[in-house]
Chain A
Amino acid sequence: MIPFRRGRDGLKLTLPEHERALLADLVAQLVSVLEGGDPGDPAVARLLPSAYPDDEEAAAEFRRFTADDLTARKVANARRVLDDLGPPPTSRLDEAAQQSWLRTLTDLRLVLGSRLGVTDEGPAPTDDPQLLVMHDVFDWLGYLQESLVQALTG
């Protein structure tokens, strides 16, 4: 089953119920990471990276002027995705929803990637069965994202 397909009036979203539930659970966690806004959390640092890595003063000023707005927009995107996941689930995504989905899937993968220690070689090796499940989840989110980008550009 292809999750995202281009239709006449926007994108058609097809996700089985258990996948919608899993995604909703993850997106709700993303919202709490964003609202927590702990600057010491590496995942938060990746969501709001420094704009001036070599200039602390300029970086702090940029953060002061942008971090709240960026966080609010990320939270709004995530809430839009939660709404679409339902219940009741939405099957058509208009342009605004498509943009929210793109960004939320990205933010979710960035947070999970940070938690799993993802490098160019993939997630950090582990024997922990729970983490291994999250590796699959990370791959699955990548599949969803790829499907969405293909539907928008293909």
Chain B
Amino acid sequence: MVDHLNASRDPSSIPPRAGAREARRRSCGPPRRGTLGGVTQTLDDTRVGTETDPRLLVAPDRPWVTLVWDDPVNLMSYVSYVFRSYFGYSARESERLMMQVHTTGRAVVATGPREEMERHVEAMHDFGLWATVSKADE
């Protein structure tokens, strides 16, 4: 998929400093085929495959994550218990994630589609853990 998307992309055809959001907006409008001659047509055609649906680009490469953050109140044993009972991690893995939260300030406890991560975050808030959603690598 990535290869297919990149294949037709000629770096020189992308206007300098045009952000992804702007490119996306422009590509959503009616096709301006032929308005400025052949060059414009080529630009638009190229963008259709790469910019129309940003989720096509984001989803496979950069999934969403559920982060759990360290807080000064929750007990280590409780945080471990939550990871074990809710996510079904082994005692060892739960302990490892809990220690990562405790020593580094946060840990990724789940990765996947955004809606699923939001469900996890809501469940963590139900348990009283401090959890957030973000894109992987952010």
**Partner among B75, B77, B118, B132 whose Cβ is within 8 Å of the Cβ of A50:** B132
Contact of A106 with B125 in the complex, beta carbons under 8 Å: no
**Bound Cα distance A53, B131 (Å):** 10
A153: chain B residues within 8 A (beta carbon): 77, 81, 84
A51-B131, A51-B132, A53-B132 known; A66+B125 contact, CB < 8 A: yes
The number of residues on chain A lying at the interface, defined by a beta carbon within 8 Å of a beta carbon of chain B, is 33
Contact of A110 with B73 in the complex, beta carbons under 8 Å: yes
Majority-rule SS of A interface residues: helix
B84: chain A residues within 8 A (beta carbon): 153
Contact of A146 with B73 in the complex, beta carbons under 8 Å: no
Can you list 27 residue pairs at the A/B interface with Cβ under 8 Å?
A: A47-B125, A47-B128, A48-B125, A49-B130, A50-B132, A51-B122, A51-B131, A51-B133, A52-B133, A52-B134, A53-B132, A58-B133, A62-B133, A70-B122, A70-B125, A102-B78, A102-B81, A103-B128, A106-B74, A106-B127, A113-B72, A113-B73, A145-B78, A146-B77, A149-B77, A152-B81, A153-B81
Q: Contact residues of B with A, CB < 8 Å? A: 72-75, 77-78, 81, 84, 118, 121-122, 125-128, 130-134
Q: Contact residues of A with B, CB < 8 Å? A: 46-54, 58, 62, 66, 69-70, 73-74, 102-103, 106-107, 109-110, 113, 118-120, 142, 145-146, 149-150, 152-153
